Chain A
Amino acid sequence: MSELIKKTASELGALIASGEVSAVEVAQAHLDRIAAVEDRVHAFLHVGAESALAQAAAIDARRSAGEELGPLAGVPIAHKDVFTTKDMPTTAGSKILEGWRPPYDATVTRRLREAGLVILGKTNLDEFAMGSSTENSAYGPTHNPWDLTRIPGGSSGGASASVAAYEAPLSTGTDTGGSIRQPAAVTGIVGMKPTYGGSSRYGLIAFASSLDTPGPFARNVMDAALLHEAFSGHDPMDSTSIDQPVPSVVEAARQGDVAGLTVGVVKEFGGDGYQPGVLARFQESVELLESLGAKVVEVSCPSFTYALPAYYLIAPSECSSNLARFDAMRYGLRVGDDGTRSAEEVMALTRAAGFGPEVKRRIMLGTYALSSGYYDAYYGSAQKVRTLISRDFEAAFQHVDVLISPTTPTTAFPIGERADDPMAMYLADLCTIPSNLAGNAALSVPCGLADEDGMPVGLQIMAPVLGDDRCYRVGAAVERAFESRWGGPLLSKAPAL
């Protein structure tokens, strides 16, 4: 196993820029790692070995020609298979898009190509990013590198597993209800949901458009910040993109201190349903923050207890509308077109054959919530709860700089345990959903292992809208203090694959 795969993205970028190693060597080391562990982890739906080596060779040639390269030029990356890539298939984990080659790049994809990152491939996900375990992928589950019998989180479970298994130093994900933070937490890595509108949705296959947010995965806070900065910023192709400067997240990750900050502990996140080992590590994080000079206070956000039900009305409602585009007419699967059936019959047969159970459930749930007669009670009420949650955040951020909670109520559960119990599965997003509904920034950083199962636990750090830098500032301080206590990154405690 090459030592290169254990390096951080910033280390790799520096080694490539100085010419100590070539981008081709770095790409090859990661492709070798993928070849060695992928049969057990199954993080990828597509690996583009040839194109990765060609992209890396192009970076090496530019460096040899004397070109000044950016900090991540030549660094490999894996993209969640929900971002369109014009040179690779894009499936969203669904049979309805099997083999589809998009004619265009997502803005995130394009910007990272321009920054010189080398695309290794596309990672597995719950179908259309709907799920918390990656078990809803039409192409089989991804396995948690810490314990292959457990889930890697979801929906960006291939993204989290690829980084935790050293198959890629960086990956992209999307977070609609926790789909970056929860997988990061349960695999012992860093995952960030930027402020909604801070990262472009153009070319991101839509699930719930008012919530979907692209974000970074990395093995440390600085790498996440570098990736965050590389793809963020205003995009005229996304009408909900924020036309303001990107918060200086790299500078904040470098700064990494909490002295003088006030940290609020969300009172509503704890108690019943939370695993003791998760609560113990969270309590330890609170004490750590105090020892680093932060003032910690308890904050009540009473509406947060209604966030989960509101989310499971709003997200399915938007999904039922967004997924209407899969109509078997212009791209993707078409089933049953034997010359006798109508377009509508072909559409219904195709959608029944092409969508998995969770996607069907959510389309029907959304259709129900938006139906005349039910709209006010369900979708309308959920939108009001959304207002209440934003108000709770606003009130809290008048007194505190950041809010913290466990990222997830439990550690990674065994594959299969909640597969046919939607309500149990939905609970994985209990603590992450409020920040999607309010659109604010939130980060998950590793905070230790649960005593009862030895699995990683994440600390969630929430900041106001466009306060992304605060997440990185606090996250970097927590990371530095924990790593000095642990004698290295949490991931170094993971069993060898």
Chain B
Amino acid sequence: MSAITRDEVAHLARLSRLALADEELDHFAAQLDQIVGAVARVAEVATADIPPSSHALPLTNVFRPDVVAPSLTNEQALSGAPAVEDDRFRVPRILGEEA
């Protein structure tokens, strides 16, 4: 029995904002199933008494002094934008319907 079905890949693609074609779903379902099957081994040794590590270094809450420093200009920040209007990023509609 597969751990990852085609429907599950379609769900993952939706969550990941990837508009995948049907043939991609089939292809990825088989591959992801194989990969997940192989990596599930980690559970064999991950017992309750072991603390998890999110990071290799024991660093927490690194702050810099709260002083104003130079940053990108408006022009620089917009320099790579796909669309610009009135010195702002122009984006497709965000709400469902026009009011």
Q: Name A residues whose Cβ lies closer than 8 Å to a Cβ of B.
A: 100-104, 196-197, 210, 236, 239-240, 242, 303, 306, 309-310, 312-313, 320, 324, 327-334, 337, 339, 341-349, 351-352, 355, 357, 360-361, 363-365, 367-368, 371, 377-378, 380-388, 390, 422-423, 437-440, 465
Say which residue of A341, A351, A388, A439 sits within 8 Å of B18 (CB atoms).
A351
Interface residues of B in 35-86 (CB under 8 A from A): 35-36, 38-47, 50-57, 59, 62, 64, 72, 76-77, 79-83
Residue ID in chain B nearest A438 by CB atoms: B56
CB closest chain-A residue, reference B45: A306
* A and B contact pairs by CB, cutoff 8 A, 20 listed: A197-B57, A240-B55, A240-B62, A306-B42, A309-B39, A309-B40, A330-B81, A347-B17, A348-B17, A348-B19, A349-B19, A361-B31, A364-B13, A378-B36, A381-B42, A381-B46, A382-B42, A387-B52, A423-B35, A423-B38
Q: A242-B57, A351-B17, A368-B12 are in contact. Are A341 and B92 (CB under 8 A)?
A: yes
- B35–A422 touching, CB < 8 Å: yes
Complex partner residue of B42 from A339, A343, A385, CB under 8 angstroms: A385
- A244 CA to B14 CA, complexed, in Å: 44
Neighbouring B residues of A346 by C-beta, 8 Å: 92
Chain A residues near B93: list those with CB within 8 A: 342-343
Let me know if A377 and B40 touch, CB within 8 A: yes
Given A239-B62, A313-B39, A364-B18, A103 contacting B80 (CB threshold 8 A): yes
Report, as a range, how many residues of chain B touch the other chain.
Answer: 35 or more
B50, A342: Cβ atoms closer than 8 Å: no
CA–CA, A308 and B12, complex, Å: 23
List chain B residues, Cβ under 8 A from A242.
57
Residues of chain A within 8 A of B92, CB atoms compared: 337, 339, 341-343, 345-346
A385 touches B46 (CB 8 A): yes
- Asked if A312 and B18 sit within 8 Å, CB to CB, the answer is no
Please name 8 further chain A to chain B contacts, defined as beta carbons within 8 Å, in addition to the given A341-B92, A381-B42, A384-B53, sorted by A numbering. A197-B59, A312-B38, A332-B82, A357-B24, A361-B35, A383-B52, A388-B45, A390-B56
Interface check B91, CB cutoff 8 A:
yes
Q: Are A337 and B82 in contact (CB under 8 A)?
A: yes
